[in-house]
């Protein structure tokens, strides 16, 4: 599993456009409604096993949660299930709010 910081991810998203990785937000509905990185796809952590077929195993996936622990578990799960290009956002959406988008709500 790879890891990426919020500033590194922001730079990649700005540079890569349509070739950017899939941003998989594994937080709960209320968390996603509070704040999100634009373009993210939300599948709550508990639903990832039953919705795994919705994910493209040929595309890089960056897993996102609040602080990085749940997303790391999901990234490991995806790797165990054949996904080879999985990255965890270190520090999660909180790091994004602090280091990239200061206007983003924090919780």
What CATH number is attached to the domain comprising 19?
Answer: 3.40.250.10
| Candidate list 35, 64, 65, 97, residue with the active-site label | 65
User: What is the arithmetic mean of pLDDT over 68-87?
Assistant: 98
Residue 39 belongs to some domain of the structure:
yes
User: What is the arithmetic mean of pLDDT over 14-35?
Assistant: 94
Residue 67 belongs to some domain of the structure:
yes
| Token pair of 11 as six digits | 């730079």
pLDDT tier at 37, thresholds 50, 70, 90: very high
User: What is the arithmetic mean of pLDDT over 30-57?
Assistant: 97
Residue 107 belongs to some domain of the structure:
no
Q: Which domain holds residue 81?
A: 2-99
Distance separating alpha carbons of residues 90 and 71, to the nearest angstrom? 9
Q: Look up 63 and say whether it is catalytic.
A: no
Residue 68 belongs to some domain of the structure:
yes
Please tell me the total count of domains within the chain.
Answer: 1
- Contact yes or no for 18/103 (Cβ under 8 A): no
User: What's the whole-model pTM score?
Assistant: 0.96
Predicted confidence at residue 16, as pLDDT, reads: 85
Residue 7 belongs to some domain of the structure:
yes
Predicted confidence at residue 17, as pLDDT, reads: 77
Distance separating alpha carbons of residues 105 and 107, to the nearest angstrom? 7
- The CA-based diameter of the chain, rounded to the nearest angstrom, is 37
Residue 7 has pLDDT above 90, yes or no: yes
């Amino acid at each position: 599993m790879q890891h990426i910081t919020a500033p590194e991810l922001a730079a990649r998203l700005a540079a890569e456009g349509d070739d950017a990785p899939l941003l998989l937000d594994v937080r709960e509905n209320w968390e996603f409604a509070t704040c999100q990185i634009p373009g993210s796809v939300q599948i709550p952590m508990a639903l990832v096993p039953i919705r795994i077929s919705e994910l493209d195993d040929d595309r890089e996936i960056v897993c996102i949660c609040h602080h990085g622990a749940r997303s790391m578990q999901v990234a490991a799960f995806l790797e165990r299930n054949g996904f080879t290009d999985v990255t965890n956002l270190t520090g999660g959406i909180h790091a994004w709010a602090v280091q990239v988008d200061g206007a983003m709500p924090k919780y």
